[in-house]
Structure 1
Amino acid sequence: MNTQFHDHLITGEPPATSRKRIVAQQAMRVKLLPGERLQIDCPDEGQCCELFMLDDGPGSARERLELGQATSGMPEVQAQLQQSRPSGDRLRQRLLAWGVKESHLQRGLHLDAEQLPCMIEATERTGAIHLVLAAPGADMMPQEQTTATELNVAFWRLPGEMTELPDPLSEPVQEVHVPHSSARVYRVKAGEWIQIIDVAGKQCSDFIAFDAEALERGEEITLDAVATRTLAGHALPQPGLYSRFADNRLQPMLELVQDTVGRHDSFLLACTPKYYEDSGYFGHVSCTDNFNRALREYGVAPRAGWPAINFFFNTLIEPCGTVGMDEPWSRPGDYVLLRANRDLICASSACPDDIDPANGWIPTDIHVRVYGAENQFERAIAHRVVPEELPRMTKQTAFHSRTSKLTKHFDEYRGYWVPTEFEGWGARAEYLACRESVAVMDLSPLRKFEVVGPDAEALLQYALTRNVRRLAVGEIVYSAACFETGGMVDDGTLFRMGEQTFRWVCGDPWSGTWLRELAAQRGDRVSIRESTDQLHNLAVQGPNSRALLSELVWQPENRTPVSELKWFHFTIGRLGGPEGIPLMVSRTGYTGELGFEVWCHPDDGAAVWDAIWQAGQPHGLAPLGFAALDMLRIEAGLIFAEHEFCNQTNPYEAGIGFTVPMKTKEEDFSGRAALQRQSPESRQKLVGLVLDGNEPVHHGDLVYDGRMPVGQITSATASPLLGKMIALCRVQPAWSEPGTRLEVGQLDGLQKRLPAQVQALPFHDPERIKVRS
């Protein structure tokens, strides 16, 4: 059976019971029972699927699976395994762990991207089917655009007792199922990991924990929300530095390691009998009652209300302080992962609240898995590019093995861990290194999309504000991308790799989704595939950056050497010599200084970092974190998403009106009509502010002329260059002239005023002589 995805929409068949993702260059093992089926889909319409059967049933795989359109063999898997690269080793190790032999691969099948989506069904005739599905591909080098990407698999499973759980993170040592409207108690040893899973989605789970040794002595040492918030400086711990839940003696009990939701509560009680009684629901079961009953055997005295971590509970706090709630953000299979700092007695509930939105109005189950202390799970926060997809957990960049040796200070940014500052340097020293000598920074979270095909130029000419047709091969242009409203989708740099091949480098992973939707609406013949996982990059910035990279990068005769590379151009080369690691080097940056970016495959990242680090020491090289970068880019007047622009800010208001060549670009582009309708005199303008004093101002602070608000701070920093507090500020046009005196309002905007003066941007190098040098 081979049914297309859209047929399900037409026939009205039920939605999939579960979904999984095959990571690019990896494989997934699945089992289908008779009556179950799966569908393989390619999100970017460019990735093939190769598969084989692990079981030896009658007939060929093509006949049993009814895949008449598939071709024999697994050329892409074989190519990946034979390339002697880490990606091939990783796939080989996984296949060996499953007992895969060469004979399995020889019986495999290949499905082109054009043959997806594809349905596979197990029947009484086929019996149970054991499959391995792969999203294979050889490594993409920086000058190439043949990236491997992920595949999605949707399952229609036979009805069971509960919704299918996500795959275990490792082999559990304990599994505890918490039926809806109940609570369960379980013991956890020091170092063990606790995964609390929302089985069906939108279900709250209250969690309490006791020090096991103290409880045996009759002493109740429990989690304390006030202590936790005070010590962490956060309303709720999150994976990273601020991840610990403390007890009432101010000692850590648990560490939050992974979180796929990011929205919980830790300052209210578990639901109580009083709450339901006051609402007129007398005798309604509550989490507090359920905890009291479950803890009775441990000698814990009942309470009228249990202070708890309220996982998956969506609490709202209004500016006036009012506490409200709404349906949880959690979806089926979402979870939190904690690690015990000591032996604990834990209790988890599946909240019974069905009289308000707390559980989406319908209480469901919670499932708990406990993993052994010998496991190691990376800290991670989930994000989703589109709402319906599976969570994507925070990744480490290609350079993390090196930066993590220099600092413990990491923040999550766009799905990756990035260093904020480095021990032994600090933001001020890192800033000075970039201004005075040279600094190296990990910018791998930037999203990269390969835009290839006969209509690639036409699509980008419409999608971006810049005149793409003027861009030469080897040249780069900075551009905005706008919705039809004129609000910005994103900003980024476009590399022209060939006549109809481009690389769009931006901040928002949704930019690729938007480009695909735009191409579909227009009927453009173009492929848009994300290459972020195949291309990581270091920024090497500062006056000595050219000298440093000129020593390291070799180019063939037909390529521009680094020493001659012009601003906003790129070249292809190798590290150290003609047999070295392939690189792309671009004359770009985000600091306002002379600088470059070095692009390589992630598996080569450690070697590239080591070479730059070693060669950079005579040049005064320092690492650069995001805290120092903020100082540099604000001084340079460079904008940042969700600060200087959002989807309701157009390029003029974001301070990048120069990216909209309204007079010289005659062709239409997305948002052009909306921008033309707007009177230039009505547009807010991005300006600089120099504060008279050194008190800090912050993103969101309002800017006043007397009682009248005329603007808002978008970014601010203490400037080493000026020795003062400076800010980027969006103001009404009548107050945008340099020299205009304004005030930043704090407290309620009226009680405290900080005098400031408007200044033209940028603060640093107004003629941009350094960056062009």
Structure 2
Amino acid sequence: MSTESLAAALARAGSPVELLRNLAFPPSTFPVRPEFTNWRSEQRSWLETCALLDQSHHMTDLFIEGPDALRLLSDLAVNTFANFGVGRAKQFVAVAPDGHLIGDAILFHLEEELFDLVGHPMVIDWVTFHVERGGYDAKVERDDNSIVRRSGPPRFYRYELQGPTAPALMEAVLGTTVPEVRFFSMTEFTVAGRRVHGLRHGMAGQPGFELFGPWEDGEAVLDALLRAGEDHGLVRVGSKAYSTANLGSGWVPAPLPAVFGDDPLLAEYRDWLPVTSVGSLGGSLDSPDIADYYLTPYDVGYGKTVKFDHDFVGREALERLAEAAPPRTKVTLVWDAEDVTAAVGSLYRPGPGAKYIEMPKARYATHHEDVVLKDGQRVGISLDCGYLANEREMVSLATVDTALAEPGTEVVVVWGERPVSAKPAVEDHVQVEIRATVAPCPYDARDTYRSR
């Protein structure tokens, strides 16, 4: 690879924390139109009518093909692959040898020996590395997101329909009853004369579909959806609103990949991985030990995903973790309105004031980790944060000591960095404490969301 390796960058910086806190890398961005109307109304659409979200440009696709493709994926994922036949999809979760998260993505089983892994680069890189190391009769083809793709359009278009009117809209566009499809299973539709793959999906407790197919068919399919949507309240959602969709659904989009351990496999990986693939670290957590920033599958609600019916990287470590009750639990934190207002208001008084809170998504680094306190003691990590117009609240996803995960528990989120890092998005500011209340996760549909 032409760019500096992670290993070389670490040798220059001296420590993982020093390197990542000062990398000039922004949070993941969505290279689509920011707003079609306004992000507040667009946020409301997936709960009130139907949202159309264009997923064609912001994720990376890794196509994995060959006789050993399934064995490769099984060797790297905590998931079971029993009964994972063609036409199924699942959340693919990978961990390091010590059991901490590398990342997650959505895995589509397209053909007998062909899979499509779709997500952020963290887990895509991990799978690619293992293919290139050898030992598998498989090959990969990578289709980067539209921010870094060298030329040309994506291989697939992807449109997501989510909301109460999504089933009726699909019936209108198909001209027939929508076939019964199990959650996270695929079927095929014909839209505007084009063959379309459809994944039965759900977001914020509402029904929906992810539709995808060859890029050259995308415009015709989109036009058909927009025409049918005129009678069903269809709202096109831009990148600002879409970036917050995970907050209500409870998905942590960018956990810090745990690639800095002493295992020889990780040392080899750091030599292979470009430093540009890791991303920056932001937030008030300021431990010098990079392990304090790591998360396990149990920390972020993936415990039910872990299955010990196969061998995989990190299995022994997760077996030890599974023997005891998980020490931390994923929750939603609802930030105190008065404290948030005071932090924003400090920008209008002589400074320095609080760290700027971007709307609607407040994350300002690739990986965001703020300290959560109870009675002055650190009890967890606040992760992704932003504003939900449906609730008129600032919230964050967090993992906290299990004893404090009961809804209604009061904690404190520390907002802002100390010392102030060199990231371009970080201005001179002071840390502030923002009171928060523990709430269920997922939050948007805390009474109706599909039990996981």
The one-letter amino acid paired with 1:659 is T
From the superposition, tell whether residues 610 and 482 of structure 1 become closer, same or farther in structure 2 (CA, over 3 Å): same
Choose from 136, 159, 162 the match for 1:538.
159
**Do structure 1's residue 449 and structure 2's residue 62 form an aligned pair?**
yes
The one-letter amino acid paired with 2:67 is P
Provide Cα deviations, 1:186-245, integer angstroms capped at 9, x if missing partner. xxxxxxxxxxxxxxx99xxxxxxxxxxxxxxxxxxxxxxxxxxxxxxxxxxxxxxxxxxx
**Do structure 1's residue 523 and structure 2's residue 135 form an aligned pair?**
yes
Secondary structure in structure 2 of the residue aligned to 1:713:
strand
Shift of 1:767: 5.3
**Do structure 1's residue 655 and structure 2's residue 301 form an aligned pair?**
yes
Residue 611 of structure 1 corresponds to 224
Choose from 296, 315, 320 the match for 1:672.
315
Secondary structure in structure 2 of the residue aligned to 1:478:
strand
Q: Does structure 2 conserve the Cα–Cα contact (< 8 Å) formed by 1:554 and 1:575?
A: no
Gaps of 5+ in 2: 5-11, 145-153, 260-293, 341-356, 363-367, 419-429
Choose from 683, 689, 692 the match for 2:333.
689
**Do structure 1's residue 709 and structure 2's residue 378 form an aligned pair?**
yes
State the distance in 2 between where 1:649 and 1:516 align.
Answer: 22
Residue 173 of structure 2 corresponds to 552
The structure with the larger Rg is: 1
Choose from 173, 180, 185 the match for 1:564.
180
Residue 765 of structure 1 corresponds to 445
Secondary structure in structure 2 of the residue aligned to 1:432:
helix
**Do structure 1's residue 731 and structure 2's residue 400 form an aligned pair?**
yes
**Bigger share in helix:** 2
Shift of 1:539: 1.0
Shift of 1:646: 6.3
**Do structure 1's residue 495 and structure 2's residue 175 form an aligned pair?**
no
Choose from 180, 186, 211 the match for 1:598.
211
TM-score, normalised to structure 2's length? 0.69
Q: Does structure 1 conserve the Cα–Cα contact (< 8 Å) formed by 2:65 and 2:138?
A: yes
Residue 347 of structure 2 corresponds to none
Residue 420 of structure 1 corresponds to 34
From the superposition, tell whether residues 701 and 633 of structure 1 become closer, same or farther in structure 2 (CA, over 3 Å): same
Shift of 1:528: 2.2
Q: Does structure 2 conserve the Cα–Cα contact (< 8 Å) formed by 1:568 and 1:587?
A: yes
Provide Cα deviations, 1:361-399, integer angstroms capped at 9, x if missing partner. xxxxxxxxxxxxxxxxxxxxxx9xxxxxxxxxxxxxxxx
Provide Cα deviations, 1:276-295, integer angstroms capped at 9, x if missing partner. xxxxxxxxxxxxxxxxxxxx
Shift of 1:534: 1.3
State the distance in 2 between where 1:646 and 1:612 align.
Answer: 41
Structure 1 vs Structure 2 CA RMSD: 3.6
Gaps of 5+ in 1: 1-15, 20-200, 203-313, 320-325, 330-382, 384-410, 556-560
Residue 9 of structure 2 corresponds to none
Shift of 1:467: 0.7
Q: Which has the higher contact order (CA 8 A, sep 6+)?
A: 2
Shift of 1:738: 3.0
Q: Does structure 2 conserve the Cα–Cα contact (< 8 Å) formed by 1:587 and 1:595?
A: yes
Residue 240 of structure 2 corresponds to 627
State the distance in 2 between where 1:676 and 1:522 align.
Answer: 27
Shift of 1:747: 6.4
State the distance in 2 between where 1:748 and 1:446 align.
Answer: 29
TM-score, normalised to structure 1's length? 0.42
**Do structure 1's residue 756 and structure 2's residue 372 form an aligned pair?**
no
Q: Does structure 2 conserve the Cα–Cα contact (< 8 Å) formed by 1:447 and 1:507?
A: yes
Shift of 1:764: 2.2
Residue 47 of structure 1 corresponds to none
State the distance in 1 between where 2:52 and 2:451 align.
Answer: 16
Shift of 1:641: 1.1
* Aligned positions of 1:381-420 closer than 5 A: 413=28, 417-420=31-34
Choose from 39, 42, 64 the match for 1:430.
42
State the distance in 2 between where 1:538 and 1:475 align.
Answer: 18
Shift of 1:657: 2.0
The one-letter amino acid paired with 1:669 is F
The one-letter amino acid paired with 1:581 is R
From the superposition, tell whether residues 641 and 562 of structure 1 become closer, same or farther in structure 2 (CA, over 3 Å): farther
